[in-house]
Amino acid sequence: LSAAAPTLAERLSAVGWRCEAVLATRALGPESSGLGQGFDHVEAPLRSWRWTADEVVSRARARLHTQDGRPLFLWLHVAEGEWPHAPEAQDLARYYRPTDDPLHEGYKRPKVFKQSMPLPYLDVRDLNWARARYKASLTSLDRALGALLDEPRVRAGTVAFVGSQGLGLGEHSIWFKHVGLYPSVLHVPLIVAAGDGTWPAGSRCDEPVSTLGLTATLATAVGADAEGWQGADLLAVARGEL
């Protein structure tokens, strides 16, 4: 990221916010990405490629209890949905019977492009096992995030949950990658909740929106400068004004 690009953390810092980040992957660390602009504190792996969601949430909860009188913006990044998927056995058992063998010759060998399938799965005959490992990884992610969402400071604040991109789960012969302009890649979660009722609880917006609008929306909501940013005010969209 160019140093000339204004970030949400820089805009929030300018109006008195403390900005912290806990990032799951080494690639997002400020040394290699430039994404630390405006943050008072950033944590990301240095020796390993990725932290588990439990590790990320544990570090994030510690940052929540660092009080200095300023409101807090916490960017939390988790990556359990990314390949490779290594779920716990008890989570995998929810989606795939432990007694089944995904390599069994009784399954018809699926036709897949080698370039589109992770190498460890090329000999797998029952690809429901591969999907189950993905689902089980998200289950462990949900469990970790639940502990964070139960924190009183999080409950009282505004929480925005968004994905960076979707993954192919076999559609168009694409497995666990974000390739092309397919709906599975472009349509990602965007969920916002606020403890003070700022966001209308239980409402669903049927109009197409972009995650680009999230940054400007959060900045505007607290009186920070959002000039020059793309994206519609999502609060206005939620109220039916746009």
127-146 confidence digits (pLDDT tens)? 999 999 999 999 999 999 99
DSSP string for the chain: --TTS--HHHHHHHTT-EEEEE-SBGGGSHHHH-TTTT-SEEE--SSSSB--HHHHHHHHHHHHT---SS-EEEEE---TTSSSP---HHHHTTTS-TT--TT-TTSPPP---GGGS-GGGTT-S-THHHHHHHHHHHHHHHHHHHHHHTSHHHHHSEEEEE-S----BSGGG-BSS--SS-HHHH---EEEEETTS-S-TT----S---THHHHHHHHHHTT---TT--S--HHHHHTT--
At 25, list the tokens.
């992957």
CA dist list (Å): 88 to 133, 164, 172: 9, 24, 29
* Residue 173 pLDDT greater than 80, yes or no: yes
pLDDT range class, residue 184, cuts 50, 70, 90:
confident
Amino acid letter, residue 72:
L
Query: Whole-model pTM?
Result: 0.90
Whole-number pLDDT of residue 232 = 82
The set of long-range contacts for 109-117, using a CB threshold of 8 Å and a minimum separation of 24, is 112/173, 112/175, 113/173, 116/168, 116/173, 116/174, 116/175, 116/177, 116/179, 117/175
Q: Comparing 153 with 112, which gets the higher pLDDT? A: 153
Distances (CA, A) of 59 to 22, 63, 74, 89: 7, 6, 11, 25
Residues 6+ apart with CB under 8 A from 208: none
Is residue 197 predicted with pLDDT exceeding 90? no
The predicted pLDDT at position 210 comes to 87
Taking alpha carbons only, the member of 149, 154, 144 closest to residue 58 is 144
